[in-house]
A and B are shown apart, each in its own frame.
Chain A
Amino acid sequence: MQRIRSAPPRYWLVLVAVLFLAGLPTVVTSFQASEWGGALILAIAIMGLNVLVGYSGQISLGHGAFMALGAYTSAILVHTYKLDFVATIPIAGVVTGVVGFLFGIPALRLSALYLALATFALAVVTPSLIKRPATLTGGVQGILLIQPDPPQFMKDGFAAITGTPMTSDQWIYYVILVCALLLFWFAWNLVRHRPGRAMRAVRDGEVAAAASGVNVAGYKTLAFGVSAFYAGVAGSLFALSTGFISPDTFPVGLSIQLLVGGVVGGLASIPGPLLGAIFVYFLPIESNQWVPSQTWIPIQVANTVVKAGPAVTYGAVLILIMIFAPNGIVGLVNAGYSRLRRRLLGASDRETGQVPPGPQTV
């Protein structure tokens, strides 16, 4: 990807986002909280994809498969081995991360194009691979999970604020939020320090990176492992929040959705995955509600629009963003910000004859 020029991090913006997400369930309904939980789950998975695609420059079109692995790891542990759900989240992450790391080793030999091809094939084959060990995965019937009750102290604390006891949807939302915050914080630290610099060096010029002493193979597989870890945690949370998983929960469309989210938000950025996830998660849901409510659209047409609309939009958005704004929403905002800054500072600079300092290069 191209180098992204971005404004320095705005801590107050991070604070606003965290407070917004933390306070959300106290204002919206329990169902809406679970929807936002779904968006945050996608944000985690997209952040994983972002580490791989955006920072290390390897492509994966099969991240839905890693999500499926995480989801089934958790679901089987809870369903068959009666483990506590929250305890299975890190296990699912680590299992998927190890598999991703191992997957990254043969991937080293492949060019970007072949890697895209192989991971795409994996994404298409995933549902039929899940169906086969039917005793373990429940086959086409899938696995049904009972959603956990919130612990007593959370119930009381929530009731003290809002007046109503916490539902399990709201509890799951907070579990997801904590995971998302931890993982975003981890990713932010990762990309700012040595591994992140090494990954970007590999992405921008493998030979130059190797010549500068970067362990190319090591960092590429590391990126795969970290990325899969994120997808595994996201899958595990997905199983927790929907309470039901089956092979058809993880179609190739899911992998595409993750990619669209990453691209729309902006690859190689930290806020990008969150924005992208909100876009790809709420687009089908909102169009589902909005289109049939418009009386001027005939019901027959509305049904097709609801079904085909998201796919058409995803496709068009992918193409348009890649052609006109390869750095996604974050890139657009940054470009607008620095242009505005230049415009505002430009007037005074003309008098002093000084050139405003360029935005910081990540």
Chain B
Amino acid sequence: MQELLQQIVSGLASGGIFASLALALVLIYNAMGLVNFAQGEMAMFATFIAFALIDHGFSYWIAFPITLVLAFAGGIAVQRIVIRPVERAPVLTLVIVTLGLATLFNGAAGFLFGYVPRSFPSPFSVSTVSIFGAYASYQDLGVIAVSGVVLLLIYLLLQRTTVGLTMRAAAHHPEASRLLGVRVSWMLALGWGLASAVGAVSGIMAAPALLLEPDMMQTVIIYAFAAAVLGGIESPLGAVVGGLIVGVTVNLAGAYLPFVGGDLQLAVALAIIVAVLVVKPNGLFGRPAVRRV
């Protein structure tokens, strides 16, 4: 029982990371109906920036916000330079462009920082604390707390501020919003910036456990896909719930199903994706898609 609780807590910690990245995917999906295949690689690149800052003597809690600001600016730049020219292109073109971005960021990180895995500092100690008889590390609890704060901030931004309202309006009714004076294209850019910053949080949270290297987020993005699909790809709340469910499921499957073990955990994510898409394509919180013929 105690071990089960511990597994659940560490599952929630990785779930928080998946949830942040899934939320980034959802933000971009809502802005332009596109799954950003480069989200993980952008997060990895931002994490390398944080690493470089810390390496140059900045303290963790200064490097962290600077990285988020840079990631935000980077996301906007990517949208302006790369995505805008193909904004109205078919989905196939957009998918290929984001894959190109992913490859580009991966190569650029390798080019600038090399392929040797590096240890990334964590502000939370690895010592454990006892909660209800289960031992959880401060590291896991810290990740859960940071992810929770980020998700809450995004929720408040989208639901309680004018900017959030404008963003949602621009995503749902671009034409009507434009008539009302909303600069729709810049709202999309803002969505990309936000997604990039939220993704950066997930990268920075994941790095201490995974070791920082260019392929670090390659598996995390698959879990985030699973989380976003499970929650319903247009629902921010769904992304969070999906992320936590995927985190806990994968962790428990790895611990208790001998067949799965350590190396087939990723296959569990694939199974979740396929099962949800075939059985309930709208996920847990998504609205059924209506197709106009």
Contacting residue for B278 out of A106, A111, A124, A318, CB 8 A? A106
Bound form: Cα–Cα A316–B104 in Å? 6
Q: CB distance A304 to B110 under 8 Å? A: yes
Bound form: Cα–Cα A120–B34 in Å? 15
Stretch at the interface among A39-47, A156-164, A172-180, A305-313: A305-313
Set of chain B residues within 8 Å of A329, measured between Cβ atoms: none
Distance between A214 CB and nearest chain B CB, rounded to angstroms? 15
Given contacts A124-B222, A322-B97, contact A110 B277 (CB under 8 A): yes
Q: CB distance B35 to A117 under 8 Å? A: yes
Bound form: Cα–Cα A241–B115 in Å? 29
Set of chain B residues within 8 Å of A318, measured between Cβ atoms: 96-97, 99-100, 103-104
Q: CB distance A322 to B100 under 8 Å? A: yes
Set of chain A residues within 8 Å of B222, measured between Cβ atoms: 120-121, 124-125
Among B85, B101, B107, the one with the most A-chain Cβ atoms within 10 Å of its Cβ is B107
Stretch at the interface among B47-55, B87-95, B134-142: B87-95
Q: CB distance B99 to A256 under 8 Å? A: yes
Stretch at the interface among A11-19, A126-134, A224-232: A126-134
Q: CB distance B100 to A118 under 8 Å? A: no
Bound form: Cα–Cα A125–B91 in Å? 24
Set of chain A residues within 8 Å of B93, measured between Cβ atoms: 1, 322, 326
Among A57, A106, A125, the one with the most B-chain Cβ atoms within 10 Å of its Cβ is A125
Within 8 A of A (CB), among B199-247: 218-219, 222, 225-226, 229
Per the CB 8 Å criterion, the residue count for chain A at the interface is 48
B74 within 8 A of A: no
Set of chain A residues within 8 Å of B219, measured between Cβ atoms: 124
Within 8 A of B (CB), among A300-332: 304-305, 307-319, 322-323, 326
Distance between B103 CB and nearest chain A CB, rounded to angstroms? 4
Set of chain B residues within 8 Å of A111, measured between Cβ atoms: 91, 289
Distance between B104 CB and nearest chain A CB, rounded to angstroms? 3
Bound form: Cα–Cα A313–B108 in Å? 10
B266 within 8 A of A: yes
Set of chain A residues within 8 Å of B90, measured between Cβ atoms: 1
Q: CB distance B86 to A322 under 8 Å? A: yes
A275 within 8 A of B: no
Set of chain B residues within 8 Å of A128, measured between Cβ atoms: 263-264, 266-267
Contacting residue for A53 out of B92, B229, B277, CB 8 A? B92
Set of chain B residues within 8 Å of A28, measured between Cβ atoms: none
Please give me the residue from chain A that is nearest to B29 by CB atom. A113
B72 within 8 A of A: no
Set of chain A residues within 8 Å of B104, measured between Cβ atoms: 311-312, 314-316, 318-319
Set of chain A residues within 8 Å of B158, measured between Cβ atoms: none
Among B37, B85, B111, the one with the most A-chain Cβ atoms within 10 Å of its Cβ is B111
Bound form: Cα–Cα A114–B105 in Å? 23
Within 8 A of A (CB), among B113-163: 114-115
Bound form: Cα–Cα A326–B102 in Å? 19
Distance between B5 CB and nearest chain A CB, rounded to angstroms? 28
Set of chain A residues within 8 Å of B101, measured between Cβ atoms: 315, 319
Set of chain A residues within 8 Å of B33, measured between Cβ atoms: 113
16 A–B contacts, CB within 8 A, in A order: A61-B99, A106-B278, A109-B277, A114-B229, A117-B273, A128-B266, A256-B103, A307-B110, A309-B111, A311-B110, A315-B100, A315-B101, A315-B102, A318-B99, A318-B103, A322-B89
